[in-house]
Chains A and B, each alone.
Chain A
Amino acid sequence: MSSQSQAAPAVLGVGILGAGPVTQAIHLPSLSRLQDILEVRHIMDVDPAVAESVANRVGAAFSTSLDELLADPSVDVVAICSPHQFHAAQVIAACRAGKKAVLCEKPFAMSGDEAASISAVSAETRVPIIVGAMHTFDPGWLAAEAAWGDLPEQVHTIRSSIVLPLNPRFEDFASEIVGRTPMPARDNTDPEVIKALLTGGVMGLAIHDLPLVRRFTSDFAAVEVLHAEIVKPFGYVISLRAGHVTIELRAAMNSTWEPSWVLEAIGDDTSLSIDFTPSYVHAGSAIARIMTSRTTTVLGPFGHNGYEGEWRKLAEVARGIGTAPSADTLIHDLEFALAIAEAATARVDDQATTRQEATV
């Protein structure tokens, strides 16, 4: 046994690109629970008032410039929480700036080409990247993964069912939001609006669960969307097939107070049902149930959720004591989501054509 005392690892400095509601209501509260390992040191937002307000909450520097944040030597790890279209360029810039690790909100890119570019830069710079697919870091999910045995080989049906209040309800429980942007009015009968809503539903909501769905879907590249429509005011019903696996995606966001977020993976003899806690509030982990005809094994709840889990993981990989998901995993997760979004929007045109033919 060594006689040398073990020094506590240095706290890692965090820089955050984008200071909107997700940063304010999810990441800052998560980081406030992890002050022994992570410290927010720089907040960047294109709105200087928002950047200053949010930075002042945590005693961090602020700026409106990506370059300024990346040049800040106190920033060890970078979290990218900007609008989706900026993710790829900012991930690449953070890698090239020589940071220790990058956390990018999902989706980390909006095309396969962008994903490949990120992968190449990550490999070249050796900067690990974690995508903020928080459910994959949820202790309830991880406990299920360790316990489910041969479930992935026998799963033939997957259901993701999400019912949530609109985000401000939980944002306001978690923080005091500045700079909130109101939802724009839209015509939900316009096919282009419907397509945009479906794309937004897949890339903004379903994407939380799609990496988990893919865990049970070896033929994920063979995805075929069979039916897709929107739910008012916001949500979707999407039926798809990937190889021999039936995948049903449901979501409804409305003015309910009761959230429900359930993922089911079902085989002939065994199934997994996992209840996730709502985003924004720190209500602990998911509870997983692994069921057979005779038994139900309950795993969880554990004391923290997947957002805290992803920050813990980021700190580990930045210190070189943990392994980030492989580039292939991240790229395949993204390709899976993009393929579903693209095929779902194509169904809108197919269904409109079918309706027109039926009325002729």
Chain B
Amino acid sequence: MTAQLSVQADADAEAAGAVAAVVSSLPVSLKPADAAADLVAIAGSTGWTGRAGAAIRHGAKGVVVVSPQAEDAVALAAVAKENGAAVVLDQQWAGNPVLAETQKDVRDLLAGSVAEAVLVDSVAYAAAGSDATALLTEHLAAILKCGIEVSGWKSVQRTPHGYVVAGRLSNGAPLSLHGILTSSEPATAKVAILTASGRADVVLPDPSAAWPAQVRTVTADGAKTLPSLYETAHRHAWTRLRDQLLSGIPGSDLEHFAALTATVRQLTD
């Protein structure tokens, strides 16, 4: 039996990442700790790369960053590598288990639809008064995690109520991302990939509860809904961190985050 890993979270990470609930849902793998834990959860607000690096230098074997904002993580990646530590990003939509590399049916469905897409239209909602750049960061992360490669990014408009971003797929089809700040909708990201003969839709839920993501495709033969996974993005982040530490195989979250940060900066500068 593998030894339990102890977990400590700062207050902001606990509030945003439901860390206590996750730890209690992994009672064999994880246990709570007050200090000097094996694993540390930190909030992804400004300066998170520095805080994560400090935690690793103080002995943490792994770090989960909840809702990381766009930030240069090169130095953090070096610290993690030097100390043999793992860093996992808990992104509310990109981290949904339905988008994991192991979900072959989902990956194949998305790849096939994107290759034939005539339009990708995506909408993300966050509460009124939220930070639109934080929403854009989570939104872009979800798009990239869906395997949608985009060029020609352009900020169409930014308002106090959200943003509109345009881009182009590798086959030349248009892509539109629309971020909307409203308290009338749950924090949800919807990705519609329209093709010449049908569509694929991914609906990624708010991870504050274990609402499952929805993946559905429409082809000439009919409609198909893929199996639901009642696991939050938060819990999936911790199982990924555990698995990386047990296997010794590092993840690629920070590597992918560099591309995300570059795009966010391009669209917000």
Contact = CB atoms under 8 A, between A and B. Distances in A.
Interface of A: 156-157, 159, 161, 163, 226-227, 229, 231-233, 235, 237, 239, 241, 244, 246, 248, 250, 252, 254-258, 266-271, 291-293
B182 A256 contact: no
A226 B158 CA distance: 11
B173 interface: yes
Interface stretch (B11-19, B31-39, B191-199): B191-199
A254 B197 contact: yes
Contact of A254 (B129, B166, B195): B195
Contact of A255 (B174, B192, B220): B220
A271 B182 contact: yes
A254 B178 contact: no
B128 interface: yes
Contacts of A268: 128-129, 161, 181-184
Contacts of A235: 118-119
A269 B154 CA distance: 29
Given A163-B194, A226-B164, A252 B118 contact: yes
24 contacts: A156-B159, A157-B180, A159-B178, A226-B156, A227-B154, A227-B164, A227-B166, A229-B174, A232-B173, A235-B119, A237-B174, A239-B166, A241-B159, A248-B176, A250-B119, A254-B118, A254-B197, A256-B198, A267-B182, A268-B183, A268-B184, A269-B183, A292-B183, A292-B184
Given A231-B174, A233-B118, 6 more contacts: A163-B194, A241-B157, A241-B159, A248-B178, A266-B182, A268-B129
B121 A161 contact: yes
Secondary structure call for the B interface: strand
Contact of B161 (A156, A163, A233, A258): A156
B197 A256 contact: yes
A38 B164 CA distance: 47
Interface of B: 118-119, 121, 123, 128-129, 154, 156-157, 159-162, 164, 166, 173-174, 176, 178, 180-185, 192, 194-199, 218, 220, 223
Contact of B118 (A232, A267, A269, A271): A232
Given A250-B119, A254-B196, A256-B218, A226 B128 contact: no
A79 B174 CA distance: 38
Sorted nearest first, the 6 A-B pairs with minimum C-beta distance are A271-B184, A268-B128, A156-B161, A227-B156, A231-B119, A255-B197
Given A235-B118, A237-B176, A291 B161 contact: no
Contacts of B154: 227
Contacts of B156: 226-227, 239
B216 to A, nearest CB: 10
A244 B159 CA distance: 8
A159 B123 contact: yes
B174 A271 contact: no
B183 A257 contact: no
A252 B194 contact: yes
B198 to A, nearest CB: 5
Nearest to B119: A231
A157 B162 contact: yes
Contacts of B128: 268-269
A163 B20 CA distance: 43
A269 B218 CA distance: 33
